[in-house]
Amino acid sequence: MRKKNDILLKSAFEESFADLLYFFFKDADVVFDFERGFDFMDKELAELFPDLEKKGGDRFVDMLVKTYLKTGVEEYILVHIEIQDGAIKNFAQRMFQYYYRILDRFEVEVAALAVFTGKQDQKQPSEYRKDFLGTEIIYKYNSYHIFDHTEDQLLSMDNLFALVILTAQKVSLSFKIPESELGEQRLGIVRALVESKRYDNEKIRRFLFFLKTFIYIENSEINGKFDSEVNLLTGNETSMGIIEAIKMITLEEGIEKGEYNKTYEIVKNLIVNTDFEISKVAALANCSESLVEKVQEDLRLGK
């Protein structure tokens, strides 16, 4: 479940990346050229750190994103995001390694951000220091914990990424409260999303997929209430695709055709309802990439 949640959270960061920039950089409008979009450089990041996987590192919690600046010339910045929910030995040193390898490879500006998703008392290192015989390195980077803002503060921001952070808060505290209360909190996030009137149906649909999958609740009655509320908030016609997709993905329709068929259906609906890469679909469905490729081929042939 840990790896699956990491992937879901990373996907949510990607989906709301523009809002992420507004969330962390108050002058984002002045700095970034949002019309040029973003390039997510997972492959390049993996190539820079092939040794990390051999040492037991987890590639799924790292992001490298190329963004463009409002400078009038061909200039861009690389933003490195570190999502971390545990205590990592030599974390600050690892952040410094990311910095100098990225800088050496691309020769561009690097803005680094560490986002911590663990307990409220989790250590949040924000700088790396090295001093030897008169040679000194001080490397500072942006550091943020999901509990740095209160729920009221996050809801007042009218920002999709703020709702991603709020969702992560709820998951972190979910073991402390009954499912009924967690269900109400999940609905509160839905209301904030829809009532903001800032997002189109596709954006809402994608966030709802993340929300209901990340804040997972087994109780069918609570989930039924969630679906009904979504219907009321979005309108039956609009929400039909959303609800059906979520039901299939979370297996709430009670498909009992064996583990293979269950996994096949999950993969199929992830392919149809998202634009995730093969590796991401395989990780979410806990299956091989070859199965994902098979389902893709079946869909192409109309099976």
Domain ranges, ordered by start, for the chain: 1-145, 255-303
Per-residue confidence in pLDDT tens, the chain, 303 aa: 455 577 778 888 988 999 999 999 989 999 999 999 898 887 888 788 776 555 544 444 688 899 999 886 656 787 877 776 666 778 899 889 989 999 899 888 888 998 988 888 788 889 999 999 999 999 999 999 999 999 999 999 989 999 999 999 999 888 888 989 999 999 999 888 888 888 877 788 888 888 888 888 888 888 888 888 888 777 754 444 444 444 444 443 443 445 566 678 788 888 888 888 888 888 787 777 778 888 888 888 776
**CB-based contacts of 219-227 (< 8 A; 24+ apart in sequence):** 219/179, 219/180, 219/183, 220/252, 222/179, 222/180, 222/183, 223/183, 223/250, 223/252, 225/183, 225/187, 226/183, 226/186, 226/187, 226/190
pLDDT at 24: 94
Q: Read off the pTM.
A: 0.74
DSSP three-state, residue 26:
coil
pLDDT at 249: 46
DSSP three-state, residue 130:
strand
